[in-house]
Amino acid sequence: MKTVLAALSAQYIHTCLAARSLCGSARRAGFAVTICERTVNEPFGDLLAALALEHPDVIGFPCYLWNIALVRELCVELRKILPRVYLCLGGPEVSFCAEKVLRELPEADFVLSGEGEESFPALLGALAAGRLPGDVPGLWFREAGAVRAAAPAAPVPMASLPFPYPELLSGETAPLDGKILYFETSRGCPFSCTYCLSSREGGVRLMPAPLACERLSVFLRARVRQVKFVDRSFNANRAHCDAILAYLLEHDNGVTNFHFEIEAELLADSTLALIRQARPGLFQFEAGVQSTNRETLRAVRRSENVMRVLERCAALRGTGGCHLHMDLIAGLPYEDYASLGRSFDDVFRTGPHMLQLGFLKLLRGTQLEEDAARFGIVCSTRPPYEVLFTPWISYEELCRLKKIDSLCGALYNSGRFSVSLPFLLRLFDSPFAFFETLAAFAEARGAFGRPWGRYDGHALLFAFCEARGGDAPHLRWLLRFDALCEGRARGLPDFLTPPQPPEAAGLLRAAARDEAALLSRFPRLAAVPPRERPAEIRRMFRFAWFPFSPLTGEAGACIAAIDTAAPASASYAVRPAGEAAAVLPVPGP
């Protein structure tokens, strides 16, 4: 019996942990299972052909917000092409509404609710034996025209989970090159946030730390780019968290990055002590704050200890070497536009490398979905069921917030404006006020709804500063420095090439020859053989004249030396100004 798991991810760089775990469990039970790993962005006909031309007996679909509409369409067409194929759906998007799915989608044969590593092989066993699979735990099926359910599936022991990336064990890593790999060492969550499905599981189950570390060693030996832990609150158990971080510190390969979702309030001093030892780029952490409005937090059953959460996030940021991503959610109960602005400011001032303003999604099976009518929350009926308006925030205000989030992502989260943006922020009472005002200015200029060119962000900030009566000439130099730190000097627009004094060219040549000054500021040069240093400096360093220090603002001409070969930042897609730059004083007469 041939089985295909259709893993339809949102982007090419993603891998589907669920499909891989199910595949491993089924193969271990002796079934022939393959994974068809594609994305929702491919032409529908290509996806249909990729599945139908396999001529499988069973097709399984892990279902999520981003692919459920596509899965439904594929089922309809696959039923026409392969009338005898068994179509089985599973995953969070169908687990809590299985009966409704089977009634609305007659083409689907089964829905597996809950964890499937044990029930999926059991289903395949029943189908292979030609019997009705009514005893398969967690299965919803049709019998005599009615939709029926078997007993719920029991939680799967974490130690029994298969390793999801057998390619790494066999050395066949090419299909995974450049992709994000996902890993889990726990299931469940100790919290009861009403907007999250993890709160339905009750408690936390841990993979034994020695087993988790043994499996992490596979990623380290393969030198994969990034491993994302899907544990809902990685630090819920301090001993477990610290044991894994200590192992990763001890066995760091200098390449692999590990991403964790944490609960900031539980962040222990012992965990922070470990993180301080990490090289830049080894760890990145995502902390969901969601709101700093205590009434909102109480309504969604989150801790109201806002000061503790922000203090712990600031302490994590202060460790220096790790990346910190903090989240907010717009559309929660009791949070109006002004309150959301205050939450934004509270989080922004903590100094995360990324601040993501998400928008409430009423996930199937959550407590908040059941409470939506009571709160008056109205969401779209289409996936991802995003909030449209609430009694506290209007549709128009949510649309405005999306523009603010877009600018925050392009200007702040990107790290491309790390000296120019703080200069502008000082002109406003709050970060939210700055982005709100900038969004209105950008909208008036038609900046939304079209792709941005490389320097469109620079041009927007420069025009905004001029329009506001700010010190645009000063900002111009800061924008130039930010642009140069991205590694390019040629092709800069005119507004990023202000006039320089005649002696600047000679000063730049002198700075490039001053190896002693460069060695004191760029330690990596010490590893370059002395005979090769002049060529390395010419090849990889950029020098630029400035009338003041772009890093400190100190008055007086200087030379900025920028190392374009420095390793990419752990915190940004591009290297921010200052992370690989130094200011050299201009020699006196």
Q: Which residues, including other chains, have CB under 8 Å from residue 544's CB and lie 6 or more apart?
A: 480, 481, 484, 489, 508, 559, 560, 562
Q: Is the fold of 2-149 the same as that of 158-393?
A: no
- Quote the CA–CA distance of 504 and 544 in Å, as a whole number: 8
Inform me whether the pLDDT recorded for 570 exceeds 60.
no
138 exposure class (CB count in 10 Å sphere: 0-12, 13-18, 19+):
buried
**Measured in whole angstroms, how far is the alpha carbon of residue 81 from the centre of its chain?**
37
Q: What is the mean pLDDT of the chain?
A: 93
Rg (CA), the chain: 27
Q: Which residues touch 254 (CB under 8 Å, ≥6 apart)? A: 279
pLDDT at position 574 over 80: no
Find where tokens 């008055």 sit: 555
**Residues 388-437 pLDDT 10s:** 999 999 999 999 999 999 999 999 999 999 999 999 999 999 999 999 99
pLDDT band at 488 (very low <50, low <70, confident <90, very high): low
**Residue 585 has what pLDDT?**
79
Strands 186-189 and 203-206: antiparallel
- pLDDT tens digits for range 175-185: 898 899 999 99
Share of the chain above pLDDT 90, in %: 86
* Least confident interval from 95-99, 381-385, 487-491, 546-550: 487-491
CB 522 within 8 A of CB 564: no
How many beta carbons lie within 10 A of that of residue 512, not counting itself? 17
Q: Cβ(384)–Cβ(65) under 8 Å?
A: yes
How far apart are the C-alpha atoms of 164 and 185, rounded to whole Å?
Answer: 12
- The H-assigned helical ranges of 349-471 are 367-375, 395-407, 420-425, 431-444, 456-467
Confidence of residue 569 (pLDDT cuts 50, 70, 90): very low
State the Cα–Cα distance between residues 430 and 107, nearest whole angstrom.
54
Averaged pLDDT for residues 340-344? 98
How confident is the model at residue 203, as a pLDDT? 83
H-only helix segments in 109-266: 119-128, 166-170, 209-222, 238-250
pLDDT at 317 over 90: yes
Q: How confident is the model at residue 144 (pLDDT cuts 50, 70, 90)?
A: confident
Q: What is the pLDDT of residues 232-286, one digit of tens each?
A: 999 999 999 999 999 999 999 999 999 999 999 999 999 999 999 999 999 999 9
Give mean pLDDT, residues 54-67: 97
Annotated domain spans of the chain: 2-149, 158-393, 419-496, 499-585
- Residue 162 belongs to what H/E stretch? none
Amino acid at residue number 502: P
DSSP element (H, E) containing 320? none
Residue 561: predicted pLDDT: 92
Domain made up of 2-149: CATH architecture: 3-Layer(aba) Sandwich (3.40)
Task: Judge whether 220 and 256 are in contact, CB under 8 Å.
Answer: yes
pLDDT digits (tens, 9 = 90+) for 84-119: 999 999 999 999 999 999 999 999 999 999 999 999
CA distances in angstroms from 561 to 506, 527, 546, listed in the order given: 15, 18, 11
Residue of 77, 73, 50 lying closest to 63 (CA atoms): 73
What is the spatial distance between Cα 370 and Cα 68, in angstroms, rounded to a whole number?
A: 20
Q: Amino acid identity of 97?
A: C
Give tens-digit pLDDT for 152-182.
999 999 999 999 999 999 888 888 988 999 9
Residue 489: which of 455, 518, 533 has the closest Cα?
455
* pLDDT-based confidence at residue 8 (cuts at 50, 70, 90): very high
At 173 the pLDDT is 81
**To 5 degrees, how large is the angle CA 272–CA 213–CA 275?**
15
Residue 580 has pLDDT above 80, yes or no: no
Give the closest residue to 442 by CA, choosing from 472, 416, 417, 410: 410
Residue among 301, 98, 112 nearest 189 (CA)? 301
Query: What pTM did the predictor assign?
Result: 0.92
Closest CA to 200 of 238, 232, 234: 232
Indicate the pLDDT class of residue 506, thresholds 50, 70 and 90. Answer: very high
Instruction: State the pLDDT at residue 579.
Output: 57
pLDDT for residue 573: 40
Best CATH choice for the domain 158-393 from the list 3.20.20.70, 3.40.50.720, 3.40.50.880, 3.10.129.10: 3.20.20.70
Count of CB atoms within 10 A of residue 307's CB?
A: 10
Residue 171 confidence (pLDDT): 83
Q: Show the tokens assigned to 411.
A: 């200007």
pLDDT at 565 over 80: no
At 566, the pLDDT band (50, 70, 90 cuts) reads low
Residue 200 has pLDDT above 80, yes or no: no
pLDDT at site 575: 45
Confidence of residue 219 (pLDDT cuts 50, 70, 90): very high
